[in-house]
């Protein structure tokens, strides 16, 4: 095609990540800050995964989903965090072609999966509050596994579809990614091939993911609110509110960040603002989620206290 002849097509072996900032005086402070954020995130999410596995009181559907939420948070933050920290530490912003594809695949799988895990948690809260007597029957182990397995399979399929479409396309000679990690939109801007099909894929599927997961959440919480308003007992209302409090906090933070990223008009987009929002949902949210569920949940705090006592007496 004529438009391809205008570009110098080359086989790329690596990409250059622009990073968060080019100011050298900020490299060390930012490295220290994000190292702390990432380490707290890893410890918090690993702690939740281990705690919900070993404590007998946390073997309910709610904590089953929470364990997978922690695993998902750990997954996409680890896909981005270590490489970003390494770039700060050794001031080498290159990333190999294969590792870029791998990073994008892992990140896409887990970030897509998070949407549907949060939806499953909303449905779980709806059943717990609106059908408490049938809760254990409805939220059976088989249903819980199904509600987790389907999002994982769908996320893998969608991520591989996008990544394969991008990386079988022809790149131009320019290999600088205007981001701190390999993301699909900055990569598409480097392609010399026709990008219409890829752009349609990353427009339709993410829109479907966002709208469908949000619809499940909204319907679940509208029904929960109706059920709470019908309760005569103030104690019952308070218990219902406290049951949903942690999940609602996580939802507001996560979806609020996504809407800031993707719903604002194109004309108002700023590269720095997008980087800050990306940093927030790739590193800060995975750090906050374990804190929110630990500090606002009596059962988790009780399990932590018991574990502390066991460790103290075993030493």
Evaluate if residue 220 carries a pLDDT over 50: yes
**Mean pLDDT within 230-246:** 79
Per-residue pLDDT at 219: 96
Instruction: Compute the CA torsion angle 274, 276, 281, 284 (nearest 10 deg).
Output: 180
DSSP output for 13-50: SEEEE--S---GGGHHHHHHHHHHHHHHHHHHHHHHHH
Mean pLDDT for the stretch of residues 62-79:
94
Contact 160, 102 (CB under 8 A): no
* Confidence tier at 44 by pLDDT (50, 70, 90): very high
Structure confidence at residue 90 (pLDDT): 82
Q: Which stretch of 129-143, 217-231, 244-258, 296-310 has the lowest confidence by average pLDDT?
A: 296-310
The mean per-residue pLDDT over the stretch 214-222 comes to 95
Q: Is the predicted pLDDT of residue 5 greater than 60, yes or no? A: no
**Average pLDDT, rounded, for the chain:** 85
The pLDDT assigned to 142 comes to 94
What average pLDDT does the segment 52-78 reach?
Answer: 91
d(CA 312, CA 310): 5
Residue 124: which of 217, 54, 8 has the closest Cα?
A: 217
Percentage above 70 pLDDT, the chain: 86
Report residue 7: phi and psi, to 5°: -110, 150
Q: Among 119, 112, 289, 81, which residue's Cα sits nearest to residue 184?
A: 112
The whole-number pLDDT of residue 258 equals 80
Tell me the pLDDT tens digit for each residue of 241-290. 777 888 888 998 898 888 777 665 554 455 667 778 888 889 999 999 98
Instruction: Give the per-residue pLDDT at 160.
Output: 96
- Determine the average pLDDT of the residues in 128-151: 93
pLDDT at 262: 66
Among 9, 46, 41, 32, CA closest to 172: 9
Global pTM?
0.88
Tell me, what's the pLDDT at 234? 78
The pLDDT of residue 268: 47
Predicted confidence (pLDDT) at residue 297 exceeds the cutoff of 80: no
Structure-token match 């250059």, residue found:
16
Query: Is 14 within 8 Å of 96 (Cβ atoms)?
Result: yes
| Structure-block tokens of residue 263 | 């719903």
**DSSP class of residue 270?**
-
pLDDT digits (tens, 9 = 90+) for 148-190: 999 999 999 999 999 999 999 888 878 888 888 999 988 998 8
Which one, of 296, 217, 210, 303, lies nearest residue 258 by Cα? Answer: 210
Q: What is the DSSP letter of 218?
A: H
* Res 195: pLDDT: 85
**pLDDT computed for residue 233 by the predictor:** 78
Residue 77 burial (C-beta neighbours within 10 Å; 0-12, 13-18, 19+): buried
């Amino acid at each position: 095609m004529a438009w391809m002849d205008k570009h110098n097509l080359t086989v790329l072996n690596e990409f250059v990540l622009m990073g968060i900032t080019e100011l050298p005086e900020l490299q060390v402070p930012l490295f220290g800050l994000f190292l702390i954020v990432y380490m707290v995130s890893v410890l918090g999410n690993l702690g939740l995964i281990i705690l919900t596995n070993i404590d007998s009181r946390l073997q309910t559907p709610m904590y089953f989903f929470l364990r997978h939420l922690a695993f998902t948070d750990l997954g996409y933050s680890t896909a981005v965090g270590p490489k970003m920290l390494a770039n700060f530490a050794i001031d080498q912003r290159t990333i190999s072609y294969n590792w870029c594809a791998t990073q994008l695949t892992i990140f896409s799988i887990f970030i897509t999966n998070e949407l549907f895990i949060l939806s499953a948690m909303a449905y779980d809260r709806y059943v717990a509050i609106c059908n408490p007597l049938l809760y254990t029957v409805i939220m059976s182990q088989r249903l819980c596994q199904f509600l987790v397995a389907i999002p994982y399979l769908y996320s893998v399929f969608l991520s591989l579809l996008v990544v394969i479409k991008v990386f079988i396309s022809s790149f131009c000679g320019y290999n600088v990614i205007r981001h701190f990690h390999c993301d699909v939109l900055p990569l598409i801007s480097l392609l010399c091939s026709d990008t219409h099909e890829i752009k349609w894929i990353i427009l339709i599927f993410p829109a479907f993911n966002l709208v469908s997961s949000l619809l499940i959440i909204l319907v679940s919480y509208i029904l929960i609110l109706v059920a709470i308003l019908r309760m005569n007992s103030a104690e019952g209302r308070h218990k219902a509110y406290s049951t949903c409090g942690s999940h609602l906090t996580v939802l507001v933070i996560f979806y609020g960040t996504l809407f800031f990223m993707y719903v604002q008009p194109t004309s108002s987009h700023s590269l720095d603002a997008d980087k800050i929002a990306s940093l927030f949902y790739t590193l800060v949210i995975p750090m906050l989620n374990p804190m929110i569920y630990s500090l606002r949940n009596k059962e988790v705090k009780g399990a932590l206290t018991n574990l502390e006592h066991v460790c103290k007496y075993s030493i």
